[in-house]
Structure 1
């Protein structure tokens, strides 16, 4: 029976897809340690921060998705295995007879599992390769950690309200989360929304309580269940600021803080170090080459998925380990769907092709979009819309420098697009519309929508500028504009005195795109056999 059990276990393990590679040309263990040290400087006195790595997610039956670590966890550790917890102390303290300021808990070495899924670091590997002195087996998270969480004034973590997918693979993580909740008396209904609401109420006073109530009413539309909380309900229903202050005093002080850590990590991650910038530049460069080669290879009769495959082949050819996000390849009206990922349209004809893709290089992702005419030539309407988007992006890039804001960049582009759409007769002058429905910029880094604030730009920030116009079929305008979707997206690095367009190698202007599409493709001689 025991032999049968192990045979079945190994069969299941063989279909679990983990990713435990460590990059010789990635970030060093010293770099990750430096990030932990920087986080300590931001943490409150006598506090502890607890980070749980991502669970394994099931794809179907006994096949799991390729494992991707939580990006905060990776940022602070460089570790890429599941069932791990990082504990950071704001100050050094004595734990189990040793003075330390951090602990990491991880899975054990297991020859049987490693035979199927790859090498695990184990505690000794964690010490030698990633530089942790206190590396402890995850089975000892509660029993032998040597810490009492209640000794801290603040316990910082993220919301643990969502359950972890039940599986034998995730069982160690589930156990550690349960032990953490017990040790911190984690409230049953605590989530990010309720934590943020409590913080708003606690920070209110007689003069600001009216504004806080208005904010909470907006929250209520998104989180109607929040009124089930008697303290929140009492605060909102109180008929005077004085009565609200009475309710405020009833909200207990919580050691457990699930809202502040996100802000601390955003402040830490929004400005990239030189090491991060080097990795981002490589990711963006690869993605730009993908756009260039597709411009040369694109032809009438290809499919969206074929175009997607060319991009992703180029990423892999250069050694990129992953995609930063699902590839978006939308022809014609599909280009008007912002997050279109089906990519299943066949036999592309003479419409625009919107391609939003990014390679992930050593954990860091690019985000580059180009829109091209599949037949190599923009028609009159396509060119008119494209030029508006191009001018809007140019205006945003021109504004990009230290001290500028995302709001200024967005406003400059919207002004050009609004005035241009009115001039073309697509909208009435000054009318609101949904033809540019998304924001113009977001940070990029370990996440395609990376952690960061909306504070003024600083040297070392890397973000997108991506105006767009989308006129889906059936829109309230002349049908000649229907099905035109254009987005141009570039990755911008703020320098000491301006900005550098990291993805500028990929042609952006109408003339440059059409010229590139006339060049021969290296894939023209790649002919595969027909399959019925």
Structure 2
């Protein structure tokens, strides 16, 4: 064998090793292309959609938060870097050379110095090769390109969060891209009338000046319920006007506002992408199922490792270690580990109790794997055995969850699992004497049972009827905080059981059923030896 050929084979082998060391199971470029085509098919003629990447957000001083892509932007592009914008046209456009195109992805430019500090960028060539875009440009070109957004009948964009930071590092940051879009499109927040504002404007326009005092009273009540209306100079000007001439001027301004038309639509993308994202493709289900199974294994390992001397933070750490062991990039949301009364705080994330003792520990956590996040909750006794009171509450919640899962079927309404769970919980609380009647108002079960999961832990959706290949949560709970109006023996007991359910044409599938759910199965799992039992660190005190 010639030396040249041998060298080539060696280099090829080294390249394969390097490739194998990075994740290869992200969504495919074809998936993202298909999603763009589906969205394009929903767009009317002569329209354009503009979707921005997330910006880099500052944590403190010169330290930024770990970057996380905007889910809608990722869904449509697969691009995982900041400072980018997708422009998607309903119809083919023609450039100065006669070439046609219907989409452009503007991305961070390659910058050797920046990449030395913060990692490799795809750049234009990488975007074309890996993400399959025919036209990719540097982000700064979005500013110089002469896109006439005013020529389109409709311009679709999501509502701006306006928390973009201008670091002045370059001219291709999201701050610059959004500013340029607003400038080119004539976007103005004042041109969008909320339902409440539109109602009052209509009232100002149609009410004779002699009855203006009544309108002023309505405005006074409106700003009490909707404080943001206080910022509207027209409304407050009319309310505080001291003479009829001024009131007529504001009346004319209100009429002009109502007649003003903008081609910018803030609702289309939100609605259409919710319709698309609520039903998962087979490619999405593969990643989402893995995220869920990782989270279930995390619950199992904590069940085996749990000891009364542990802190909430240590328990959180075991969960998150399992996630990282499987290659999950992030937690899908801030981890909730609440022992005893802390479990009664629905979104408790301090996790700073130093000993869980013999209390119930509510653990609501989910791994994010390749963008898709699970949402799995288990509640277990720190000492490995449920007390009679803990067991009684737990079994009510479990029965309620089973009832909710049973109606999680294609064709049923989204609210049905919650309705069924509530019936079971109210009857159970009544049987235990915690409430006095089935129609008693109480806060022991203050939330619904279900939401979509996917690229967001609370994934967007229409929340109408269940459809095949939706994935939802079913998560009833009972929370009895200290000081509740019931026997003290129930105080400080908090139980939530949450599983991730795949909607099918037949029976629902519990994707997180791997993690024990019954009292008997949990106690049996907690009696097993953990690989962490012998993991002891030195005392630093």
Query: Secondary structure of the residue that 1:288 maps to in structure 2?
Result: helix
Equivalence map 1:341-356=2 (5 Å)? 341-356=349-364
Q: Could you tell me how far 1:520 is from its partner in structure 2? A: 1.0
CA distance in structure 1 between the aligned counterparts of 2:191 and 2:164, rounded to whole angstroms: 16
Query: Secondary structure of the residue that 1:381 maps to in structure 2?
Result: helix
Equivalence map 1:410-429=2 (5 Å)? 410-429=418-437
2:380 to 369, 372, 376: 372
CA distance in structure 2 between the aligned counterparts of 1:367 and 1:113, rounded to whole angstroms: 36
1:48–1:435 Cα change, 3 Å:
same
CA distance in structure 1 between the aligned counterparts of 2:363 and 2:289, rounded to whole angstroms: 19
Q: Is the 8 A contact 1:55 1:170 kept in 2?
A: no
CA distance in structure 2 between the aligned counterparts of 1:161 and 1:381, rounded to whole angstroms: 46
Give the TM-score, by structure 1 length. 0.87
CA distance in structure 1 between the aligned counterparts of 2:407 and 2:391, rounded to whole angstroms: 24
CA distance in structure 2 between the aligned counterparts of 1:129 and 1:119, rounded to whole angstroms: 14
Q: Which runs of 5+ in 2 are unaligned?
A: 1-20, 203-218, 240-250
Q: Is the 8 A contact 1:104 1:134 kept in 2?
A: yes
1:328 to 336, 354, 373: 336
CA distance in structure 2 between the aligned counterparts of 1:528 and 1:409, rounded to whole angstroms: 45
Q: Is the 8 A contact 1:202 1:251 kept in 2?
A: no
Q: Could you tell me how far 1:137 is from its partner in structure 2? A: 1.0
1:149 paired residue number:
149
2:243 paired residue number:
none
1:248–1:334 Cα change, 3 Å:
farther
Q: Could you tell me how far 1:260 is from its partner in structure 2? A: 2.1
CA distance in structure 2 between the aligned counterparts of 1:123 and 1:345, rounded to whole angstroms: 49
- 2:521 equivalent to 1:498: no
Q: Is the 8 A contact 1:409 1:440 kept in 2?
A: yes
1:405–1:125 Cα change, 3 Å:
same
CA distance in structure 1 between the aligned counterparts of 2:47 and 2:200, rounded to whole angstroms: 23
Q: Could you tell me how far 1:198 is from its partner in structure 2? A: 7.2
Residues 448-482 of structure 1 show CA distances to partners (whole Å, capped at 9, x for unaligned) of: 00111111000010010000111111111111111
1:391 to 376, 395, 399: 399
CA distance in structure 2 between the aligned counterparts of 1:115 and 1:511, rounded to whole angstroms: 54
1:127–1:432 Cα change, 3 Å:
same
2:315 paired residue number:
307
CA distance in structure 1 between the aligned counterparts of 2:221 and 2:409, rounded to whole angstroms: 34
Q: Could you tell me how far 1:218 is from its partner in structure 2? A: 11
CA distance in structure 2 between the aligned counterparts of 1:100 and 1:218, rounded to whole angstroms: 51
CA distance in structure 1 between the aligned counterparts of 2:515 and 2:403, rounded to whole angstroms: 18
Residues 272-324 of structure 1 show CA distances to partners (whole Å, capped at 9, x for unaligned) of: 00000000110000000000010011011111111111111111111111110
1:474 to 483, 500, 522: 483
State how many pairs are aligned. 490
1:138 paired residue number:
139
After superposition, the CA RMSD in angstroms is: 2.6
CA distance in structure 1 between the aligned counterparts of 2:314 and 2:277, rounded to whole angstroms: 35
Structure showing greater Rg:
2
CA distance in structure 2 between the aligned counterparts of 1:400 and 1:107, rounded to whole angstroms: 43
1:508–1:528 Cα change, 3 Å:
same
Q: Is the 8 A contact 1:440 1:466 kept in 2?
A: yes
1:91–1:235 Cα change, 3 Å:
farther
Q: Could you tell me how far 1:170 is from its partner in structure 2? A: 7.7
Q: Could you tell me how far 1:496 is from its partner in structure 2? A: 1.9
Q: Is the 8 A contact 1:161 1:189 kept in 2?
A: no
CA distance in structure 1 between the aligned counterparts of 2:269 and 2:448, rounded to whole angstroms: 25
Indicate the larger mover: 117-126 or 156-165. 156-165
Equivalence map 1:131-530=2 (5 Å)? 131-144=132-145, 146-160=146-160, 162-169=162-169, 172-189=173-190, 194-195=193-194, 223-226=226-229, 229=232, 250-429=258-437, 430-530=439-539
Q: Which runs of 5+ in 1 are unaligned?
A: 1-20, 204-215, 237-242
CA distance in structure 1 between the aligned counterparts of 2:441 and 2:533, rounded to whole angstroms: 46
Query: Secondary structure of the residue that 1:141 maps to in structure 2?
Result: helix
Q: Could you tell me how far 1:229 is from its partner in structure 2? A: 4.5
CA distance in structure 2 between the aligned counterparts of 1:247 and 1:379, rounded to whole angstroms: 67
1:300–1:339 Cα change, 3 Å:
same
CA distance in structure 2 between the aligned counterparts of 1:322 and 1:441, rounded to whole angstroms: 23
1:220–1:365 Cα change, 3 Å:
farther
1:149–1:453 Cα change, 3 Å:
same
CA distance in structure 2 between the aligned counterparts of 1:188 and 1:460, rounded to whole angstroms: 37
Q: Could you tell me how far 1:443 is from its partner in structure 2? A: 0.3
Query: Secondary structure of the residue that 1:396 maps to in structure 2?
Result: helix
1:350–1:217 Cα change, 3 Å:
farther
1:7 paired residue number:
none
1:50 paired residue number:
50
1:220–1:382 Cα change, 3 Å:
farther
CA distance in structure 1 between the aligned counterparts of 2:410 and 2:201, rounded to whole angstroms: 34
Q: Is the 8 A contact 2:338 2:351 kept in 1?
A: yes
1:41 paired residue number:
41
Q: Could you tell me how far 1:228 is from its partner in structure 2? A: 5.5
1:116 paired residue number:
117
